């Protein structure tokens, strides 16, 4: 055996055997497998000297293969159908929480002295959760409820944004400079590359993939899939983009064949081997002494990830109609960084825009956050219930009913198409607004110099003129965004809770609350990504000030709506209690249906009877924590001749009680299970 081959075999044996041993220990401790790979890399790194050192250059070359196969596998999880299915939740939550996390990471990196471009990389690194860690944690803990559905929806869009970041930042670094012409030229080149590849690929690749899968030969599928992944990786690199972009697109194109799951299962063993080498290589770059020296940075960025993800995902999930308990549990599940973070950090360090020690910080943050993920998911119900119980009563009522309103909107498929125009116009306005701000920031020096030479203005006067011109250019688009957002919110609210043409409009209060809530959702959804995109080009205090002002204004608007809504619900609860009493007296089984028709907007109240032997008998609503556990609200309670509209938390249930439950269909069903269960 030639000496070079002998050393290669020794290096691979050392890497894979160490990884295997450490991951077995991690499995026993219920820790993520990625954590084991990283620790294995630290153990065999030259910085530790526990074992014979390996040839880093050779192992890094193999790790690059792992990146390609890993990105190809992630691409196999993307289909247009999956994107469309997750768009109403993940498509809203992901931009919000990524923008929030990016802003926190960007500011923290600037304070650490990383420089503007380095801070962009750092903000991107700490805004992307780990699909592999979340999937493994959910699999081990058997999490298959709405939390898993929402988390995977967010991860789909996170990975999509991560690919765009990787492609754009890699192209900017390769060009060596940032200017308005270069930036828009790079974006145009990326758009053209994607358009040509996707249009041609969607026509040809799915047919070829189905043909290969029909052969039912595993080795043929593996060879064809790997060959296609490497071919598109080389093509993307030749076009000036990252190999990871090409591999990801290869997987996405194969996924459109409908055979993505078969290809993924077949390629998985090969992917796992090279992905293990990739993560071990990341661990080999870590110097434990450097991590100890940079413990303040590790601590700060760990807090950035935890706070950014928890607050961003939880707030975004609530705004998309999730119960508070589900929203907090989803935020806890996504509070870590992973595979895309390592790739982006590696690109930044290799390009010299980030210090070499940054990779050690990223690995340390990943170890802390990924290691904590299983424990957080395991304890998420307790933590979520704690948060839910401490919400003010008006917000509790608002959150429960808001989810039922959005549920009705999602079910009304016929009304979506007329609203598409407003959405398209707002997206165009937002894109133009971002383009004006970025172009003006990159061209400011040139414009100021031109005014000084041509008109003879002083530097301060020229800067003021440029600022006025930029504000004048952005004002119409900003006004259009706000106006279209308000119109869209009004139309959606009227679609969910139609106003009455004749008589008393009993849905006015909930419709107003829904409209105000949707206005907040639309404004925050547009503002947060805009601030994140333009933050590297404008004064930090200005961008963060805008984001803070929007968030505070939104919270005040929701609080006022919730306070007004609670008064309406209290009045409605009297009618519901009377309907329950009539139902108990046998005055007719249609009384609750009559309430739903005449008093819309309180979550379609449904009656439930507490049977003998139910565990709920003798327990207070506070002890049962019905709303926290299920998302349903007890609107009224009838016991004999006693009617209790909107019972407080200390009210205890007795056998034979009738309760009226309001909320989404799933919430009501879950609450009825708790109330009506016997034994």
pLDDT single digits (tens) 85-127: 777 788 889 989 999 999 999 999 998 888 888 889 999 999 9
Both tokens assigned to 652: 């205890």
Both tokens assigned to 338: 């992973």
Say if strands 606-609 and 633-639 run parallel, antiparallel, or are unpaired: unpaired
What is the Cα–Cα distance from 155 to 457, expressed in whole angstroms?
A: 51
The pTM for the full model equals: 0.84
Q: Are 287 and 93 in contact (CB under 8 A)?
A: no
Owner of token pair 């799933």: 666
Sheet holding 606-609, edge to edge: 606-609, 658-662, 633-639, 642-645
Say if residue 325's pLDDT is above 80: yes
Determine the pLDDT at residue 107: 92
Both tokens assigned to 617: 């008998």
What is the Cα–Cα distance from 528 to 127, expressed in whole angstroms?
A: 13
Angle at 136 between CA 134 and CA 142, to 5 degrees: 95
Q: Classify burial at 248, counting beta carbons within 10 Å of its beta carbon; exposed 0-12, middle 13-18, buried 19 or more.
A: buried
Determine the pLDDT at residue 179: 55
- At a CB cut-off of 8 Å and minimum separation 6, what does 513 contact? 398, 401, 402, 561, 562, 564, 565
The residue ranking higher by pLDDT, 383 or 241, is 383
**Phi, psi (5° rounding) for residue 55?**
-80, 105
Say if residue 529's pLDDT is above 70: yes
Say if residue 175's pLDDT is above 70: no
Determine the pLDDT at residue 1: 56
The residue ranking higher by pLDDT, 294 or 53, is 294
pLDDT single digits (tens) 467-485: 888 888 888 888 888 888 8
**DSSP string of 634-664?**
EEEEEETTEEEES--TT-B--TT-EEEEES-
pLDDT tier, 596 (very low <50, low <70, confident <90, very high otherwise): low
Determine the pLDDT at residue 631: 76
What is the Cα–Cα distance from 108 to 111, expressed in whole angstroms?
A: 5
Say if residue 305's pLDDT is above 90: yes
pLDDT tier, 417 (very low <50, low <70, confident <90, very high otherwise): low
Determine the pLDDT at residue 443: 81
pLDDT tier, 588 (very low <50, low <70, confident <90, very high otherwise): low
Q: Using alpha carbons, select from 118, 94, 95 the residue that is nearest to residue 105.
A: 118
Q: Are 634 and 657 in contact (CB under 8 A)?
A: no
Q: 606: helix, coil or strand?
A: strand
Determine the pLDDT at residue 303: 93
Q: Rank 45-54, 305-314, 637-646 by mean pLDDT and report only the highest.
A: 305-314
Q: Using alpha carbons, select from 666, 658, 584 the residue that is nearest to residue 631.
A: 666
Say if residue 180's pLDDT is above 60: no
Say if residue 153's pLDDT is above 70: yes
Owner of token pair 């607050």: 311
Determine the pLDDT at residue 501: 56
Contacts 24+ apart (CB under 8 A), 350-356: 351/173, 353/114, 353/115, 353/117, 353/118, 353/121, 353/173, 354/114, 354/118, 354/121, 354/122, 355/114, 355/118
Q: Are 357 and 290 in contact (CB under 8 A)?
A: yes
Mean local confidence (pLDDT), 172-179: 63
Mean local confidence (pLDDT), 18-45: 82
**HEC profile of 108-163:** HHHHCCCCHHHHHHHHHHCCCCCHHHHHHHHHHHCCCCHHHHHHHHHHHHHHHHHH
Determine the pLDDT at residue 302: 93
Determine the pLDDT at residue 306: 92
Determine the pLDDT at residue 250: 86
pLDDT single digits (tens) 334-388: 998 877 888 888 888 888 888 878 888 888 898 888 888 888 888 888 888 888 8
- Which listed CATH number (3.40.50.620, 2.60.120.580, 3.40.50.300, 3.30.70.1450) goes with 571-676? 3.30.70.1450
CA 231 to chain CA centroid, Å, is 31
Q: 678: helix, coil or strand?
A: coil
Determine the pLDDT at residue 418: 56
Determine the pLDDT at residue 53: 62
- At a CB cut-off of 8 Å and minimum separation 6, what does 107 contact? 119, 540, 544
pLDDT tier, 465 (very low <50, low <70, confident <90, very high otherwise): confident
What is the Cα–Cα distance from 308 to 331, expressed in whole angstroms?
A: 9
Angle at 140 between CA 139 and CA 146, to 5 degrees: 50
Helices (H), 126-259: 131-141, 146-175, 180-214, 218-238, 243-254
* pLDDT more than 90, % of the chain: 6
Determine the pLDDT at residue 577: 79
Architecture of domain 3-390: Up-down Bundle (1.20)
Q: Among 240-254, 267-281, 503-517, 549-563, whose mean pLDDT is lowest?
A: 503-517
| Domains 3-390 and 571-676 agree in fold | no
Say if residue 637's pLDDT is above 70: yes
Q: Taking the domains of the chain in order of start, what are their residue ranges?
A: 3-390, 400-570, 571-676
What is the Cα–Cα distance from 261 to 199, expressed in whole angstroms?
A: 22
Q: Are 187 and 170 in contact (CB under 8 A)?
A: no
pLDDT tier, 2 (very low <50, low <70, confident <90, very high otherwise): low
What is the Cα–Cα distance from 642 to 647, expressed in whole angstroms?
A: 12
pLDDT averaged over the chain? Answer: 81
Determine the pLDDT at residue 301: 93
Say if residue 416's pLDDT is above 60: no
Determine the pLDDT at residue 536: 85
Kindly report the length of the chain: 679
What is the Cα–Cα distance from 358 to 154, expressed in whole angstroms?
A: 27
């Amino acid at each position: 055996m030639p000496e070079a081959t002998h050393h290669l075999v020794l290096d691979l044996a050392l890497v894979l055997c160490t990884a295997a041993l450490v991951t077995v220990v991690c499995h026993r401790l219920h820790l993520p497998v990625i954590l084991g790979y990283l620790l294995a890399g630290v153990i065999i790194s030259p910085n530790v000297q526990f074992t014979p050192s390996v040839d880093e250059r050779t192992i890094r070359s193999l790790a690059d293969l792992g990146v390609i196969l890993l990105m190809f596998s992630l691409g196999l999880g993307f289909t247009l159908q999956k994107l469309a299915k997750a768009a109403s939740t993940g498509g809203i939550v992901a931009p919000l929480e990524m923008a929030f996390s990016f802003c926190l990471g960007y500011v923290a990196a600037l304070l650490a002295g990383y420089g503007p471009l380095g801070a962009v990389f750092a903000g991107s690194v700490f805004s992307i959760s780990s699909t592999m860690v979340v999937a493994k944690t959910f699999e081990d803990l058997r999490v298959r409820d709405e939390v898993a559905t929402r988390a995977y929806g967010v991860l789909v869009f996170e990975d999509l944004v991560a690919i765009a970041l990787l492609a754009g930042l890699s192209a900017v670094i390769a060009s060596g400079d940032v200017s308005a012409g270069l930036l828009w030229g790079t974006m145009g080149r990326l758009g053209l590359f994607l358009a040509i590849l996707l249009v041609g690929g969607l026509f040809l690749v799915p047919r070829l993939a189905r043909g290969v899968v029909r052969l039912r030969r595993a080795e043929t599928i593996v060879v064809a899939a790997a060959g296609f992944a490497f071919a598109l990786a080389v093509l993307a690199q030749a076009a000036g983009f990252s190999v990871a972009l090409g591999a990801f697109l290869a997987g996405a194109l194969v996924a459109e064949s409908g055979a993505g799951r078969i290809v993924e299962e077949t390629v998985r063993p090969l992917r796992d081997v090279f992905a293990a080498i990739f993560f071990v290589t990341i661990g080999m770059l870590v110097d434990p002494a450097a991590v100890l020296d940079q413990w303040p940075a590790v601590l700060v960025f760990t807090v950035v990830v935890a706070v950014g993800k928890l607050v961003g995902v939880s707030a975004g999930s609530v705004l998309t109609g999730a119960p508070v308990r589900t929203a907090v549990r989803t935020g806890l599940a996504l509070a870590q960084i992973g595979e895309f973070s390592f790739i982006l950090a590696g690109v930044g360090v290799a390009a010299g825009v980030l210090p070499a020690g940054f990779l050690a910080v990223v690995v340390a943050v990943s170890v802390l956050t990924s290691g904590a993920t299983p424990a957080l998911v395991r304890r998420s119900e307790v933590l979520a219930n704690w948060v839910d119980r401490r919400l003010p009563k008006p917000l509790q009522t608002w959150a429960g009913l808001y989810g039922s309103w959005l549920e009705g909107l999602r079910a009304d498929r016929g009304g979506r198409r007329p609203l598409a125009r407003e959405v398209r116009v707002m997206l165009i306005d937002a894109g133009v607004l971002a383009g004006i701000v970025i172009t003006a920031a990159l061209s400011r020096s040139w414009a100021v110099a031109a005014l000084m030479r041509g008109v003879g203005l002083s530097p301060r006067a020229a800067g003021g003129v440029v600022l006025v011109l930029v504000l004048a250019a952005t004002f119409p688009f900003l006004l259009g965004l706000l106006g279209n957002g308000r119109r869209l919110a009004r139309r959606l609210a009227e679609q969910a809770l139609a106003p009455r043409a004749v008589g008393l409009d009993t849905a006015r209060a909930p419709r107003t609350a829904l409209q105000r809530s949707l206005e907040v959702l639309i404004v925050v959804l547009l503002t947060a990504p805009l601030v994140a995109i333009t933050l590297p080009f404008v004064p930090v205090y200005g961008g963060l000030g805008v984001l803070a002002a929007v968030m505070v204004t939104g919270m005040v608007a929701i609080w006022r709506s919730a306070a007004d809504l609670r008064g309406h619900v209290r009045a409605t609860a009297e009618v519901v209690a009377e309907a329950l009493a009539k139902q108990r007296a046998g005055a007719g089984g249609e009384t609750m249906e009559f309430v739903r028709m005449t008093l819309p907007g309180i979550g379609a109240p449904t009656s439930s009877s507490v049977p003998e032997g139910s565990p709920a008998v003798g327990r207070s609503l506070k002890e049962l924590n019905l709303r926290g556990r299920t998302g349903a609200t007890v609107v009224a309670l009838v016991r004999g001749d006693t009617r209790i509209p909107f019972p407080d938390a200390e009210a205890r249930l007795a056998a034979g009680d009738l309760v009226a439950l309001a909320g989404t269909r799933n919430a009501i069903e879950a609450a009825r299970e708790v109330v009506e269960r016997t034994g």
